[in-house]
Amino acid sequence: MSHAAAAGHAIGVEPTESPLTPESWGKLGMWIFLAGDAMSFGGLLAGYAALRFGDPAWPVPSTILGIGLTAVMTFILICSSVSMVKALSAVRHGDHQRFIMWILVTAFGGAIFLGCQAYEWTHLIDHGLSTATLFGATFFVLTGFHGLHVTSGVIYLLVIAALGSRFDAESNNAVEILGLYWHFVDLVWILIFTFVYLI
Amino acid sequence: MAESHPEPNYMAIWFWLALLTVLEIWVAQMGIPKALMISGLIGLAVAKAALVALYFMHLKFERRTLGLIALTPPILLILLTFAVYPDALGAALDRITNPKQPAAAAAAH
Kindly report the three-state secondary structure assignment for every residue of A54-102: CCCCCCCHHHHCCHHHHHHHHHHHHHHHHHHHHHHHHHHCCCHHHHHHH
ipTM rounded to 2 decimals:
0.88
Note whether A66 and A74 are within 8 A (CB).
Answer: no
Q: Is B71 part of a structural domain of the chain?
A: yes
CA–CA separation, A175 and A91 (whole Å): 8
- What residue numbers bound the domain in which B56 lies? 7-61
Q: What is the DSSP letter of A10?
A: S
Contact between chains at A55 and B25 (C-beta distance less than 8 A):
no
Contact between chains at B90 and A190 (C-beta distance less than 8 A):
no
B54 and B69 belong to one structural domain: no
pLDDT 10s digit of each residue in chain A, 199 long?
555 555 545 666 666 888 888 889 999 999 999 999 999 999 999 999 989 988 888 999 999 999 999 999 999 999 999 999 999 999 999 999 999 999 999 999 999 999 999 999 999 999 999 999 999 999 999 999 999 999 999 999 999 999 999 999 999 999 999 999 999 999 999 999 999 999 9
Write down all domains in chain A, each with its CATH number in brackets.
23-198 (1.20.120.80)
B24 and B47 belong to one structural domain: yes
Tell me how many domains chain B contains. Answer: 2
Note whether A188 and A148 are within 8 A (CB).
Answer: no
Determine which of A190, A193, A195, A196 to mutate to test the interface with B (most B C-beta atoms within 10 Å): A190
Q: What is the DSSP letter of A168?
A: -
B89 and B108 belong to one structural domain: yes
Shortest distance, CA B6 to any CA of chain A (angstroms): 12
Q: pTM, whole model, 2 decimals?
A: 0.89
